[in-house]
Amino acid sequence: MSRTLIYCVKTRTRGKQLKEDYMDFSVNKEPVFVTEVIYDGQAEQGVEFDYVLPDYYPDIFRILRCTLRPGIVSCNISGDKLILDGVICITALYLSEGGGMECVEHRYSYSKTVDLPKSADNGTVTVEPKVDYTTCRAVSGRRIDVRGAVSFRIKVENITPFEIITDIEGCNIQTRKNKVSCTRKLTAGKQFVVREDIGVSGIDGTVKAVVSCDATAVVNDCKIIADKVVLKGEAKLKALYLVGNDNGTYLQTMEAEIPLSQIVDMQGIDERHTCYALFRVLSCALTVKSADDDTSGVFGCELTIGSQITATLEESIYPVTDMYSTSYESSYTTSALKTESDHRFISRTLNIKQLIDCENGIPDSVTDAECFVSEIICRPCENGELKVSGKLLCFISAVKDNEPVFIEKNLPFDVSEQLGMVTDGCVIQPVVNISSVSYSITDDGIEIRCSLLMQGCMYVCGTSQIIKQIELNENAEKQKCDDYSLKLYFADENEDVWNIAKRYNTSAAAIESENEVTDGKVSGLLLIPII
């Protein structure tokens, strides 16, 4: 089971232009805010649980199923420390000596501290918990021993300032600037808790326990209002619960929709921005509150929801990428500027069909099918297709020969989706959840049909070499020849004017003016003015 959890903190905006003065020239600098990956790694949490049944529970005959459901309660960054607090819900379903099913549940609290390579107090944290393994055995008729492990894929990003040189003035310094497309990005987020009572009917007996529950959430509407973003959406809840009556015990399913609404502060956002948002279910808890009669019941649902909002504004910057002085010897150092551009929000439905083999025979009926996805990989292709691969974890609750049967399979999948405008430089950061599951029994096994909702951001990642620092040797003045003011030069086809000007220690503007050049490229005979 895996779930992507996203926490966002604090909004950053673009800074003002800076000017640094030297002896006889000045350098204009401007901060550009870029996304920096602070941490991209994993953490693990072991589970060891030794449980003794209360006196009112019957003895264990056979363990039917045991699951771990990890959830995040809070995620905080303090300096160079990331602190995760959460709960792992342990549920064990067993067959009693009398032939009925019983369910026990325990909430296992944990806290993890992850060392970051640097401080990231204003960072955005993405956490993907995944159950690595679960084992459960009955030590005796009254005692259960559970062992397992949960791993967390953690990514911490920060929007940090990166200074670029936009102009250099004085000392006859010539500069070349390149147009770089980039995205000015704002991020914000908020965590909130939703509590709802859910009534169910059509129950033939009394609700005894919740065996499993899971929820997904989507944003249906996102509006910008005066430095705030208003989000509206819904959470879809699905649960499997145990019912008992005079004839024994059986499993039943329920589904419910819970409306979501939240207002998130986002300083600096206005109508120029393109805004997209995601809701993520960080934890899901369902308890039996009451059973008024033998045909209905009430569940208490508590959802912890995390919202992630990204606002983008496409723009162009013009950093200095080359320079020289016609009066003095000079040198410079460069650095790589990594930018994101052409941000687009994607939302696609992917359909998967899998056939589950039943080694112990095909069941008579299926009560429920739960599916989860993990290890998602997106690969853009040249033909505009997006290939999505991963693993589909299926839990099947069924009945064969009037006995409960549980089947667990971990199956690889690979699907393609036509997106268009997908290039090799595209980066896709998807969040994939199961939106619906259906099933049917065939002669060959159980056919599972899953609809996956893939949402996220797609953008183009680029790298430009720009000038970071310059040095001008004012003691090494360039010698000029006063014998002529023009030179004749025969240029190659589409030769770059800048390179010619740098070679002959003149300015590109003077060459373009003298030869009526407008596109920076020349061919054939050329007049080169010496300045």
pLDDT of residue 423: 67
pLDDT of residue 451: 93
- For 389, counting Cβ atoms within 10 Å of its Cβ (0-12 exposed, 13-18 middle, 19+ buried), the class is middle
pLDDT of residue 1: 44
pLDDT of residue 457: 87
pLDDT of residue 296: 67
Question: Which residues, at least 6 apart from 84, have a Cβ–Cβ distance to it below 8 Å?
Answer: 43, 72, 74, 75, 110, 111, 112, 113, 114, 127, 152
Q: Mean pLDDT in the chain?
A: 87
Q: Which residues pair with 216 in a beta bridge?
A: 236
CA–CA separation, 262 and 231 (whole Å) = 5
* 138 C-beta neighbours (distance < 10 Å), count: 17
473-502 tens-digit pLDDT: 888 888 776 666 788 889 889 899 999 999
pLDDT of residue 19: 52
Mean pLDDT, residues 188-213 taken together: 89
Share above pLDDT 90 across residues of the chain, in percent, rounded to a whole number: 55
The domain ranges of the chain are: 32-160, 172-326, 328-469, 480-530
* Single pTM value for the model: 0.83
Buried b (16+ CB within 10 A) or exposed e, 448-486: bebebbbbbbbbbeeebebbbebebeeeeeeeeeeeeee
Classify domain 480-530 by CATH number: 3.10.350
DSSP one-letter string for 200-262 = EE--SSEEEEEEEEEEEEEEEEEEE-SSEEEEEEEEEEEEEEEEEETTEEEEEEEEEEEEEEE
Strands 5-7 and 18-21: unpaired
513: helix, strand or coil = helix
282-338 tens-digit pLDDT: 999 999 987 656 666 889 999 999 898 999 999 999 999 999 998 899 999 999 999
314: helix, strand or coil = strand
Q: Which amino acid is at 356?
A: I
Mean pLDDT is lowest, of 2-6, 43-47, 162-166, 436-440, for: 2-6
pLDDT at residue 6 tops 60: no
- Which of 10-14, 235-239, 476-480 has maximum average pLDDT? 235-239
Report phi then psi at 508, rounded to 5.
-65, -35
Mean pLDDT is lowest, of 6-15, 157-166, 249-258, 284-293, for: 6-15
CA–CA separation, 84 and 78 (whole Å) = 11
Mean pLDDT, residues 17-28 taken together: 66
pLDDT of residue 234: 95
407-421 tens-digit pLDDT: 999 999 999 888 776
Q: 299 is written with which tokens?
A: 């569940």
Task: Select from 114, 108, 123, 208 the least CA-distant residue to 157.
Answer: 123
